[in-house]
């Protein structure tokens, strides 16, 4: 068509982006949001642990932690950690920082939409953090907000204003995620540099791509459910309310045959993909980092791409396993049990690939490598309890016990956090021009790994013994149940001590950050001898020349992870295939 339009196009692409739409600025801003949520969520979890171990302990300047306040802590901790830490940081924080660099693009596809998503995320976080300060305090129905308790304002102290703010926060969050996901998908599809074919994309990009692909159906359905819950709360409808129910001694009638189960279906259709959104970027990064420090190709690279997508696909087919004890039809239970156990196949394939990649290699045990190995360990330890909980019969007993808490904290929370630390240590030279101290990093790694297992492994035992979750206080119960719970109290105390140790184990990391950031910029361009595009040296041509010359754009010539047999030399993706790798 019109050649003039072409020049207009290229001009548009090379113009400096408007303020605060650059993906690196936005990525750091996303990480800042997550850091706020992480600090708040960690503090809340410590309060919960202290209360469980010593129910009579009174919080300075506050007093005793009341049961409703404990449930508020549970709700806020879960919402902050799952939404604002484990979704924002890996997917949108590191996603924005690294996706354009890894695919050789100069920007995201829609920078201004990216900024809009950030503003929506920030609004969501401030709305949620404001909720404890309204009359009645924050919502108490957990991060899953099951009706009828979440649909009826008299159900509890936090279920009026606090619940409304929770709803608003999650609605903002869902909108923001949709916008950000559309941006991420369009970026990966259209902004790849010449030569960056799909099979040459690093597995990290595949992780981000799959997670974004999952975000769209998940958060859309969540939005629909939020609309209905809002109607039930304020417009006297009964989407999720049965015809008659008794709440706090009052008999309530509703028109129609609504059902709380309907919310469970819609919520978990979102909720289960959500946990894959949280962990898929970490899975991809672990593959790449293991390969890089073992100086090997990722074992079965293309199969790993398929496996990543398969995990995403199965992730949207298994939501019913959260509802085995909620009154699901037994036939539906069997179906969901089978689809859930099917996830063990791609998950095992990932683990096998990781093991095969490092098997017999002599890996450099740098801090990122240690955290990648830690990720594998937590993924296996947490994942093995998955097929157990996937059986409706076993879940009947375990569902409302600490066993489930142990399961999802190992596989999602701890593996997710290890993914974040892995990303931080691995990409710090790129983001800050400095290397984090390796010695302090090792101390941080071993202490965190020890703390994570010391905290969450005993929870399995508590759950198997029958200790229920979601309860504010387990002392002072009469009868055999009281004896059972009393016997478990030492275990609870141990878990609390371990949790405090785990929190304290993060201090070396903070000290490492402060120390490194105040030091000089000493990192070389490619300190890990990595092969992916983000480590490509900055183009020497000035931007004006880059705009006019066809030869200044980054180009990809090979897939990632091309190392020579001895591991000493490697072929980065940005280097043309002029030199042949030495044969032996």
Partner 1 sequence: MPATLTPPQLEPRRVIDTPRDADNGAGGRPPVDKRTGGNGDDGGDDFERAAAGRRGPRERLATARIGLAFSLFGILLIFVGLVSAFLVTKSSYHVDAYDRVINSWLPTALPTILWLNTAVLFISSVTAELARRAMFHEQSIMDEWFGLGKPTSKRATVWLAVTLVFGMLFLVGQWVAWLQLQMQRVYYASNSSGHFFYLITAAHALHLFIGTALLIGALAVLRSSKQFATRQIWVDTTVWYWHAMGVLWVALFVLLDFFQ
Min dist CB 38 to partner 1, Å, is: 28
Helix (H, G, I), strand (E, B) or coil at 161: helix
Min dist CB 28 to partner 1, Å, is: 23
**How far is it, in rounded angstroms, from Cα 488 to Cα 473?**
13
**How far is it, in rounded angstroms, from Cα 495 to Cα 503?**
12
Among 28, 50, 119, 185, binds partner 1 (CB under 8 A): 185
> Is residue 236 a contact point for partner 1 (CB under 8 A)?
yes
Min dist CB 18 to partner 1, Å, is: 15
Number of Cβ within 10 Å of residue 434's Cβ equals 18
Of 551-570, binders to partner 1 (CB under 8 A) are: 551, 553, 555-558, 562-565
Element at 63 (helix H, strand E): strand 63-64
Min dist CB 445 to partner 1, Å, is: 25
Element at 311 (helix H, strand E): helix 301-315
> Is residue 530 a contact point for partner 1 (CB under 8 A)?
no
> Is residue 127 a contact point for partner 1 (CB under 8 A)?
no
DSSP string, 537-565: PPPSS-HHHHHH-TTSS----S-S--B-T
Min dist CB 377 to partner 1, Å, is: 20
Among 74, 81, 151, 191, binds partner 1 (CB under 8 A): 191
Among 55, 67, 142, 242, binds partner 1 (CB under 8 A): 242
**How far is it, in rounded angstroms, from Cα 89 to Cα 99?**
13
Among 55, 67, 142, 217, binds partner 1 (CB under 8 A): 217
DSSP 574: T
- Looking at the Cβ atoms of 181 and 435, the one nearer to partner 1 is 181
Tokens at 6, concatenated: 């072409």
**Tokens 């095992």 correspond to what residue?**
348
Of 248-287, binders to partner 1 (CB under 8 A) are: 255-259, 262, 265-266, 269
Backbone φ, ψ for residue 248 (5° rounding): 50, 40
> Is residue 548 a contact point for partner 1 (CB under 8 A)?
no
Q: Which stretch binds partner 1 (CB under 8 A): 328-336, 453-461, 475-483, 572-580?
A: 572-580
- Looking at the Cβ atoms of 225 and 436, the one nearer to partner 1 is 225
**How far is it, in rounded angstroms, from Cα 424 to Cα 30?**
14
> Is residue 518 a contact point for partner 1 (CB under 8 A)?
no
Min dist CB 122 to partner 1, Å, is: 21
Of 352-411, binders to partner 1 (CB under 8 A) are: 356-357, 359-361
> Is residue 193 a contact point for partner 1 (CB under 8 A)?
yes
> Is residue 12 a contact point for partner 1 (CB under 8 A)?
yes
> Is residue 288 a contact point for partner 1 (CB under 8 A)?
no
> Is residue 550 a contact point for partner 1 (CB under 8 A)?
yes
Number of Cβ within 10 Å of residue 116's Cβ equals 17
The residues near 54 (Cβ < 8 Å, ≥ 6 apart) are: 493
Among 18, 327, 482, 576, binds partner 1 (CB under 8 A): 576
**How far is it, in rounded angstroms, from Cα 509 to Cα 498?**
18
Q: For the chain, state the CA radius of gyration.
A: 25
Handedness of CA 167, 172, 173, 174 (dihedral sign): positive
Min dist CB 398 to partner 1, Å, is: 28
SS (H, E, C) 32-95: HHHHHHHHHHHHHHHHHHHHHHCCCCEECCCEECCHHHHHHHHHHHHHHHHHHHCCHHHHHHHH
> Is residue 56 a contact point for partner 1 (CB under 8 A)?
no
Q: Which stretch binds partner 1 (CB under 8 A): 39-47, 296-304, 461-469, 482-490?
A: 296-304
Contact 155, 148 (CB under 8 A): yes
Q: How far is CA 146 from CA 260, 266, 370, 444, in A?
A: 7, 11, 39, 38
DSSP 401: B
- Looking at the Cβ atoms of 51 and 192, the one nearer to partner 1 is 192
Min dist CB 490 to partner 1, Å, is: 45
What value, to the nearest 5°, has the Cα angle with vertex 316 and ends 310 and 320? 130
Task: Count H helices and E strands in the chain, helices first.
Answer: 20, 4
Of 128-157, binders to partner 1 (CB under 8 A) are: none
Min dist CB 258 to partner 1, Å, is: 7
> Is residue 195 a contact point for partner 1 (CB under 8 A)?
yes
Count interface residues toward partner 1 (CB under 8 A): 88
> Is residue 109 a contact point for partner 1 (CB under 8 A)?
yes
**How far is it, in rounded angstroms, from Cα 280 to Cα 206?**
9
Q: How far is CA 573 from CA 402, 524, 535, 539, 546, in A?
A: 46, 18, 10, 14, 20
Min dist CB 581 to partner 1, Å, is: 7
> Is residue 216 a contact point for partner 1 (CB under 8 A)?
yes
Single out the residue of 132, 37, 12 nearest to residue 92, CA to CA: 37
Q: Which stretch binds partner 1 (CB under 8 A): 40-48, 120-128, 175-183, 468-476?
A: 175-183
Number of Cβ within 10 Å of residue 11's Cβ equals 10
- Looking at the Cβ atoms of 40 and 530, the one nearer to partner 1 is 530
- Looking at the Cβ atoms of 241 and 459, the one nearer to partner 1 is 241
> Is residue 539 a contact point for partner 1 (CB under 8 A)?
no
Of 302-361, binders to partner 1 (CB under 8 A) are: 356-357, 359-361
Task: Say how far residue 78 (Cα) sits from the centre of its chain.
Answer: 12
Element at 368 (helix H, strand E): helix 367-383
Among 189, 481, 510, 525, binds partner 1 (CB under 8 A): 189
- Looking at the Cβ atoms of 8 and 544, the one nearer to partner 1 is 8
Min dist CB 526 to partner 1, Å, is: 19
Contact 157, 131 (CB under 8 A): no
Min dist CB 9 to partner 1, Å, is: 6
Q: Which stretch binds partner 1 (CB under 8 A): 65-73, 86-94, 393-401, 545-553?
A: 545-553
**How far is it, in rounded angstroms, from Cα 242 to Cα 251?**
12
Min dist CB 214 to partner 1, Å, is: 11
Residue ranges of alpha helices (H) inside 54-110 are 67-79, 94-102
Handedness of CA 272, 275, 280, 281 (dihedral sign): positive
Min dist CB 426 to partner 1, Å, is: 21
Min dist CB 147 to partner 1, Å, is: 13
> Is residue 293 a contact point for partner 1 (CB under 8 A)?
no
């Amino acid at each position: 068509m019109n050649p003039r339009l072409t020049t207009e196009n290229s001009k548009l692409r090379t113009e400096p982006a408007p303020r605060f739409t650059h993906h690196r600025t936005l990525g750091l801003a996303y990480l800042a949001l997550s850091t706020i949520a992480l600090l708040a969520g960690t503090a809340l979890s410590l309060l919960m642990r202290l209360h469980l171990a010593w129910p009579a302990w009174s919080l300075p300047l506050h007093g005793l932690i009341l049961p409703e306040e404990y449930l508020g802590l549970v709700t806020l901790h879960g919402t902050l950690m799952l939404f604002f830490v484990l979704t924002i940081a890996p997917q949108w924080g590191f996603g924005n920082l690294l996706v354009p660099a890894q695919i050789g693009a100069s920007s995201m596809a829609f920078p201004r939409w990216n900024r809009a998503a950030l503003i929506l995320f920030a609004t969501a976080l401030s709305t949620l953090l404001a909720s404890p300060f309204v009359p009645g305090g924050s919502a108490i129905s957990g991060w899953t907000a099951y009706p009828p308790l979440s649909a009826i304002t008299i159900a509890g102290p936090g279920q009026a204003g606090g619940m409304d703010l929770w709803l608003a926060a999650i609605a903002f969050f869902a909108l923001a995620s949709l916008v950000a996901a559309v941006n991420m998908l369009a970026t990966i599809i259209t902004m790849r540099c010449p030569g960056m074919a799909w099979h040459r994309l690093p597995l990290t990009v595949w992780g981000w791509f799959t997670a974004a692909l999952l975000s769209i159906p998940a958060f859309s359905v969540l939005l629909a459910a939020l609309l209905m819950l809002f109607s039930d709360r304020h417009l006297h409808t009964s989407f999720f309310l049965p015809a008659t129910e008794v709440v706090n001694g009052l008999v309530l009638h509703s028109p129609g045959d609504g059902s709380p189960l309907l919310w469970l279906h819609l919520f978990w259709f979102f909720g289960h993909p959500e946990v894959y959104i949280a962990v898929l970027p970490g899975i991809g990064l672990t593959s790449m980092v293991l390969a890089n420090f073992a100086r090997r190709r990722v074992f079965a690279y293309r199969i790993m791409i398929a496996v990543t997508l398969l995990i995403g696909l199965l992730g949207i087919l298994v939501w019913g396993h959260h509802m085995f004890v909620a009154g699901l039809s037994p036939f539906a239970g069997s179906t969901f049990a089978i689809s859930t156990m099917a996830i063990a196949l791609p998950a095992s394939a990932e683990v096998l690939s990781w093991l095969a990649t490092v098997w017999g290699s002599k890996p450099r045990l740098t801090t990122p490598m240690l955290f990648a190995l830690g990720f594998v360990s937590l993924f296996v330890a947490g994942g093995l309890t998955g097929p157990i909980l996937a059986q409706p019969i076993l879940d009947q007993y375990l569902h409302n016990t600490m066993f489930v808490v142990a399961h999802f904290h190992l596989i999602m929370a701890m593996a997710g956090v290890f993914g974040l630390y892995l990303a931080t240590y691995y990409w710090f030279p790129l983001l800050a021009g400095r290397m984090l101290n390796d010695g302090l990093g090792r101390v941080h790694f071993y202490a965190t790994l020890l703390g994570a297992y010391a905290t969450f492994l005993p929870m399995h035992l508590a759950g198997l013994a029958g200790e229920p979750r979601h309860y504010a206080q387990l002392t002072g119960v009469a009868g055999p149940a009281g004896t059972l719970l009393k016997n478990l109290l030492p275990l609870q105390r141990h878990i609390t001590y371990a949790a405090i140790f785990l929190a304290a184990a993060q201090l070396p990391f903070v000290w490492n950050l402060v120390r490194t950031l105040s030091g000089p910029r000493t990192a070389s361009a490619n300190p890990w001898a990595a092969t992916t595009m983000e480590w490509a040296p900055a183009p020497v041509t000035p931007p004006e020349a880059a705009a006019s010359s066809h030869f200044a754009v980054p180009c990809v010539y090979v897939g990632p992870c091309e190392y020579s047999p001895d591991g000493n030399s490697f072929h980065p993706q940005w280097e043309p295939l002029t030199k042949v790798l030495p044969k032996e």
